[in-house]
C-alpha cells in the first residue's frame, strides 16, 4: 500500500514537471494570420490620394495634368497606386541615361507639359507632345476598369484586367509574401504585371503590392511597393526613343520590285524564303538576300500608285520623300560583308528627256510596269542622295538617311553599289522603308 502511494507521488511529480516544461516551450503563433491594416475609407479614390500628402503627389500631379480625375471620382476603378518613390526612381534613371548623352535633366513637369510654348511644328514640339502622350499612356495603365479584390486574382493564374484608357491588358495574380523564413506564410499581395500584350509570362514586367483592398467609395486601391519603377521597364525607352519619320509606302497599291544589273538573277535564288518582300514586311526577323557585286548592282524600285475609288483605275501617285531607312539582318554580325556599304537613291522625273538614254543596266522591257505612263524608262533618274562607307556594327540595326527634297517623283530606286566586303557574294537587309518628315 505504502509503495503504491509513493509511486503515486512520483507520478504526480513527473506529471507536474512535464506540465511546467511543456508550458515553457509554448510555440509562437507566427505572423501569417495578419489582417489588412487599412480596411476602408469613406473617401473616393481621388480624395484618398489627396488625403496622403507626400506619398502620391507625383501620381496626383499627372492625373490632374491628363484629366483623369473623373475616372477616380465617378467610375468604378481599381487603382494600383505607385508612390513618389516609384517616380523618383524612374526620373533618376531617365536622367542618368540623358546625362551620359550630355543632355540636361528633365522632370515630370517638363515631360508632361506637352510642348506648351514651343514653336508649332518644330521637332522639339513633336517630341514634347509625344512625351506627354507616353506619360498619359503609362499612368492610365495603373488605373484598372471595374473593382477587383485580391481574392479575385486567387484562382489559377490570376486574371487579365484592362486599363481604363485604351483597354490595355494588364494582369493580376494573388501571391503570398514570406514571413520569418516561412515561404508563402506572409501577407497576401497582388503581383501586378504589364503583359506587353504577350501570352508568354517570361516577357511580362511584374511588380507587387504592399497593401491591398483599400475600399474607397468608387473602387479599391492597392499600394505598390516603393521600389517599383514607374512605367514598368518602359519609362526610359518611351521617353528617349526618337522614331524615324513616318513611312510613306502604301503597301497595298504601290509597286515595289528588285532588279539586278545581271538580268539572270532572280528574286529568292539564294534562299527561296528570303525574297525581296521580306524587307517590306515590317519584321526585322526576316530578310532579303540576293547576289551583289561591283558589276552586278541591286536596284530596289518603288513606284507609288493610287487607285481611284470609283473607277478602280490605277494610276501613278508621285510622292515627296526626304528620308529612307535600312535595317541590318539577323546575322549581319556574322556576315558583316553583306551589309550595304555604298548606295545611291534616285528619283524619276516626270518629263521624258530624249537626250538621256536610260541606263543600260536597266532592262528595257519591264513586266512590272502597269501603265505606259509610269514606264521607268521614259523619264530621267535624278540622284537624290549618295552614301559611302556606311558601317553597320550589329544585327537589326536601323539607320536613317535624310536628304533635302521637296519634289514629288514618279518613282524612286535605291541602288546598292557596294556591300561590306567584295569577297562576300551576297547582299542582305531585313527592312527598307521610304519616309517623309514634315517640313518645318
Partner 1 sequence: MKKIILLSLSFIVILAGSCKKQLDVDSTRVVNEVHYWNSLEDARAAIMGVYGLTRAALAENNGHWIYGDVRMGNFVSPNRQDLQAVVKNDLNASYPVLNQLENWRRFYAIINSANIFLERIKEVKAQDARYTENNMNVDVAQVRFLRAFAYFYMVRIWGDVPFITSSRDGTFENRPRTDQNAILEFVQSEMEASALVLPYLYSSGDVQQAGDYYGQSSGRWSGALATKLTAYAMLSHVAAWQGKYADVVRYSRIVLTDFGKSGLSYITTDVLCSAQGIFYTNGATGGNNNQLFGFGFVYSYQDASFTGNLESLALAAPVVNKNVPDIYVPKDSILSIFKETNDGRFNIDSTGATHGYNNKDMYFTNFLGRYPIFNKVKVILSGENDPSFRLYSSTILLTRLEDVTLLRAEAYAVLGETALAVNDLNTIRQRRYNVDQVGLVNSSATDYVAYSQAKHGVVLEAIFKERQKEFMGEGDHFYDRVRYEKIKQNNPQFMQLINSGGIYWPISRDILAQNPLLTQNSYWK
d(CA 236, CA 90): 8
Please give the distance of CA 199 from its chain centroid, rounded to a whole number. Answer: 16
Report, in Å, the least distance between residue 183 CB and partner 1.
8
Which string of x and - marks every residue 154-183 that binds partner 1 (by CB under 8 A)?
------------------------x----x
Can you tell me whether residue 97 is helix, strand or coil? helix
d(CA 175, CA 150): 9
Nearest Cα neighbor of 251 from 272, 274, 273, 276 is 276
Give the binding range for partner 1 (CB under 8 A) out of 9-17, 38-46, 294-302, 426-434.
Answer: 9-17
Report, in Å, the least distance between residue 395 CB and partner 1.
6
Q: Which of 100, 202, 295, 364 binds partner 1 (CB under 8 A)?
A: 100
Give the binding range for partner 1 (CB under 8 A) out of 51-59, 136-144, 166-174, 233-241.
Answer: 233-241
Q: Where are the extended beta strands (E) located within 195-339?
A: 205-216, 219-224, 255-260, 288-291, 298-303, 305-307, 314-316, 319-320, 323-327
CB closer to partner 1, 68 vs 173: 173
Enclosing H/E stretch for 12: helix 2-24
Give the binding range for partner 1 (CB under 8 A) out of 191-199, 229-237, 285-293, 431-439.
Answer: 229-237
Does 201 participate in binding partner 1 (rule CB under 8 A)?
A: no
Does 421 participate in binding partner 1 (rule CB under 8 A)?
A: no
- Cell numbers linked to 275: 525574297
Enclosing H/E stretch for 133: helix 123-140
CB closer to partner 1, 106 vs 408: 106
Give the binding range for partner 1 (CB under 8 A) out of 111-119, 137-145, 231-239, 362-370.
Answer: 231-239
Which string of x and - marks every residue 58-87 that binds partner 1 (by CB under 8 A)?
------------------------------
- Cell numbers linked to 222: 492597392
Which string of x and - marks every residue 314-333 that binds partner 1 (by CB under 8 A)?
-------------------x
Does 104 participate in binding partner 1 (rule CB under 8 A)?
A: no
Does 236 participate in binding partner 1 (rule CB under 8 A)?
A: yes
d(CA 223, CA 423): 61
Tally the C-alpha atoms within 13 A of residue 44's C-alpha that lie toward its C-beta: 11
User: Cβ distance 148 to 172 under 8 Å?
Assistant: yes
Nearest Cα neighbor of 403 from 419, 388, 379, 383 is 383
Q: Which of 240, 293, 315, 361 binds partner 1 (CB under 8 A)?
A: 240
CB closer to partner 1, 17 vs 133: 17
Residue 114: Cβ within 10 Å count:
18
Site residues for partner 1, 334-353, by CB under 8 A, read 334, 336
CB closer to partner 1, 13 vs 133: 13
Phi, psi (deg, nearest 5) at residue 76: -85, 110
- Cell numbers linked to 278: 521580306
Does 383 participate in binding partner 1 (rule CB under 8 A)?
A: no
Give the binding range for partner 1 (CB under 8 A) out of 16-24, 192-200, 285-293, 400-408.
Answer: 16-24
Enclosing H/E stretch for 161: strand 159-162
Give the binding range for partner 1 (CB under 8 A) out of 62-70, 116-124, 237-245, 404-412.
Answer: 237-245
User: Cβ distance 82 to 224 under 8 Å?
Assistant: yes
CA dist list (Å): 427 to 292, 293, 304: 6, 8, 25
CB closer to partner 1, 14 vs 320: 14
Does 127 participate in binding partner 1 (rule CB under 8 A)?
A: no
Q: Provide the Cα torsion 281, 282, 287, 291; round to 10°.
A: 70
Report, in Å, the least distance between residue 217 CB and partner 1.
33
Does 285 participate in binding partner 1 (rule CB under 8 A)?
A: no
Q: Applying CB under 8 A, which residues contact partner 1?
A: 9-10, 12-14, 16-18, 20-21, 89, 92-94, 96-97, 99-101, 178, 183, 227, 229, 233, 236-237, 240-241, 333-334, 336, 393-395
Amino acid at each position: 500500500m505504502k509503495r503504491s502511494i509513493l509511486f503515486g507521488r512520483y507520478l504526480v511529480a513527473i506529471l507536474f514537471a512535464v506540465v511546467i516544461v511543456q508550458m515553457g516551450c509554448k510555440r509562437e503563433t507566427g505572423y501569417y494570420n495578419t489582417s489588412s491594416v487599412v480596411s476602408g475609407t469613406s473617401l473616393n479614390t481621388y480624395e484618398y490620394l489627396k488625403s496622403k500628402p507626400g506619398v502620391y503627389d507625383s501620381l496626383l500631379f499627372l492625373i490632374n495634368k491628363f484629366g483623369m480625375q473623373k475616372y477616380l471620382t465617378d467610375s468604378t476603378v481599381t487603382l494600383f497606386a505607385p508612390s513618389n518613390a516609384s517616380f523618383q526612381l524612374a526620373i533618376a534613371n531617365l536622367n542618368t541615361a540623358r546625362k551620359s548623352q550630355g543632355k540636361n535633366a528633365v522632370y515630370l513637369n517638363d515631360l508632361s507639359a506637352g510642348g506648351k510654348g514651343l514653336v508649332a511644328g518644330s521637332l522639339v514640339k513633336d517630341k514634347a507632345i509625344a512625351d506627354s502622350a507616353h506619360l498619359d499612356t503609362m499612368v492610365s495603365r495603373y488605373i484598372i476598369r471595374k473593382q477587383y479584390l485580391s481574392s479575385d486574382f486567387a484562382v489559377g493564374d490570376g486574371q487579365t484586367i484592362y486599363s481604363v484608357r485604351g483597354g490595355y491588358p494588364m494582369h493580376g495574380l494573388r501571391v503570398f509574401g514570406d514571413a520569418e523564413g516561412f515561404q508563402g506564410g506572409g501577407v497576401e499581395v497582388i503581383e501586378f504585371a504589364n503583359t506587353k500584350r504577350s501570352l508568354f509570362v517570361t516577357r511580362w514586367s511584374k511588380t507587387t503590392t504592399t497593401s491591398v483592398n483599400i475600399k474607397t467609395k468608387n473602387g479599391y486601391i492597392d499600394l505598390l511597393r516603393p521600389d517599383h519603377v514607374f512605367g514598368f521597364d518602359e519609362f526610359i525607352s518611351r521617353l528617349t526613343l526618337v522614331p524615324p519619320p513616318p513611312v510613306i509606302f502604301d503597301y497595298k497599291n504601290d509597286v515595289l520590285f528588285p532588279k539586278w544589273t545581271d538580268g539572270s538573277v532572280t528574286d529568292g535564288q539564294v534562299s527561296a524564303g528570303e525574297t525581296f518582300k521580306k524587307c517590306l514586311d515590317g519584321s526585322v526577323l526576316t530578310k532579303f538576300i540576293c547576289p551583289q557585286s561591283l558589276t552586278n548592282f541591286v536596284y530596289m524600285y518603288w513606284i507609288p500608285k493610287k487607285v481611284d475609288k470609283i473607277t478602280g483605275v490605277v494610276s501613278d501617285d508621285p510622292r515627296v520623300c526626304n528620308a529612307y531607312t535600312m535595317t541590318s539582318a539577323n546575322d549581319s554580325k556574322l556576315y558583316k560583308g553583306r551589309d550595304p556599304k555604298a548606295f545611291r537613291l534616285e528619283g524619276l522625273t516626270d518629263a521624258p528627256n530624249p537626250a538621256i538614254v536610260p541606263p543600260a543596266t536597266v532592262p528595257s522591257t519591264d513586266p512590272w510596269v502597269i501603265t505606259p505612263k509610269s514606264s521607268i524608262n521614259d523619264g530621267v533618274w535624278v540622284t537624290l542622295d549618295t552614301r559611302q562607307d556606311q558601317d553597320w556594327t550589329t544585327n537589326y540595326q536601323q539607320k536613317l538617311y535624310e536628304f533635302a527634297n521637296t519634289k514629288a517623283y514618279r518613282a524612286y530606286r535605291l541602288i546598292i553599289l557596294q556591300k561590306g566586303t567584295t569577297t562576300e557574294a551576297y547582299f542582305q537587309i531585313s527592312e527598307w522603308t521610304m519616309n517623309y518628315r514634315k517640313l518645318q
